[in-house]
Structure 1
Amino acid sequence: MNKPLSLSRAAPSLRGADLPLLLSLNVLLEECNVTRAAARLHVSQPALSAQLSRLRQLFGDPLLVPAESGRGLAPSPFALKLHRRLQPALAGLNAAVRFDSDDFDPDSATRTFNVVANNTGAAVILPGLARRMQALGNKGLRLTLSAPDGSDLASRLEKGEVDLCFSTACLLPSGLFSRELMTTPYVMVQRRDHARGKAPVTLEEYCTLDHVNVARDSSLHGFMDEQLYRLGHSRHTMMAVRDFSAVVAIVGQSDLVCTVPAFIAPYDHPCVEVVELAFPFLTYTLCMAWHPSSDGDPGLLWLRTQMQEVMAGSPRAWEKQRGG
């Protein structure tokens, strides 16, 4: 029987020829699968297996071991610690050789930015950004939008498949750089001439109403219910939807109500009214996030600056309504 590799080890002595192995190790630890890692690295599986053997010898650790589930591989405790230290080092090296302070000119650059945002963030941010991009007159500068997927968002940001993510702070993956773009209160949307009137809604009244919940997974139990639970209350949710696009139509033709961040509330819609919550409630914070490896990318620095300026100059309907 083979003797297991010892977890006690001396600091490895890296040679120049060993440095490419660290790139392979990073991908191996991301994929936990030799076949997939070999495909990403554009090498054969036997060649990558040989590199893994060299890495095990170099660090005196198995690095990847059979998963307890019996399917696939899992990183060893040492490998997890090593990976956390290896990622920023490789990111810094990548930034050092990939970017130059003068290699992005928004007036002439050819580049497609890939952004992840839900419908709420997109509706607030993209119109102002579209005006700015069109004003440049540069046909080579473009942007794509995709829906968020929390299961692999951090990995897509790290790989450069996604440039920026817009989300509430509580839903952002760990390990990202982020900046707060906007913080707003929550308000309640109801049909015009609702039987309850236009007065701010109290906590007791709020809990007697029938609600529409907005959640990415269309769950009937969401963020609002967690906050109410902390206040010792609960509400009845009759309907759940994935985003805010259908809220006005639903609320405008029923007695259901929906709680939304004030910055997307339909204040000027003829079929609905917006009322304040007359009880303490957490605010909604919209954040912009990116991977540390792209922090020095001048193109993304330009894009992040545009986003911040768009938000700083955006109309604040809820502030006007409240006399702000």
Structure 2
Amino acid sequence: MSSTQSQTTSASLCPKIERQWLEARSLKSMLLSGLTWLVAGIGAIPLFSIIFMLVTEGGARLDYEALVELPPAGFDMGGGFGNAIVGTLVMVAIAALISVPFGVLAAIYLAVLEPHSRLAKNARFVAKTLTGFPSILAGLFTYIVIVMHFGYSALAGGIALSVLMLPTVILAAEEAMKQVPVRMTDAAYGMGCTRTQVITKVVLPSGMPGIITGVMLAVAGAAGESAPLLFTALFSNYYMEELIEPTASLSILIYNFSAMPFDNQIQLAWAASLVLVLIVLIFNILARLIGRSKH
């Protein structure tokens, strides 16, 4: 039988299926799809309106001086929020240095060592509960434990942010490790690898893209927090010199400047808001790119 005859025979056996637009299922599908796009469009209106305002208002004031200079005082013109950018990045870095190691170690216990133990179930429940933990309570907890004894500081702010980052890192890392195929770990055990070698040579490398994605999302969330920093880092009009002193942050600068009756400070608040959104956006984009790389 020739190829033409085989194609003709297969076409006769598998007739072409065409969508009937007037059928009830097609109409229902189009209606639901249209409603979905409508709701998504309505939900995107506030988002794009805020972004438009940030770009128009903040972009007009955003320049090199605003990125490196110190905040102005009172009726002074010019100035910037360079110290707030540095303070935000330093406190987020402190939070990541605390939350990532402990979060990954906890995830190893939950996903590999004792996934079905009572302790693991309770720890998993606590982590999921903490994801909805009000951020201001993390600041209040750090204030009672640290600030009341040692004062306001960048270190206290980083610890408060680490409390908020930790559950996200734990749950994301645990899920990433659970996605590692069982046949890979079984093969490693079959070759004589110890549990430690399986974790370090198989589980962690295979789950690393998912772990990094969770870390990036946690960092993006922590960078935009303001309530915990009110109780821990407070604010400063100068560049940070030590980790144990009050430190500026973008979110607190925006909060302070937006309530001032001076046009210069209000413009700086808009520009700082735009920079903060860009920082969060960069971390979210990195998380998406890293998440896609594992597929």
TM-score, scaled relative to structure 1: 0.23
**Higher RCO (C-alpha under 8 Å, 6+ residues apart):** 2
TM-score, normalising length: structure 2:
0.25
Give 1 or 2: higher helix fraction.
2
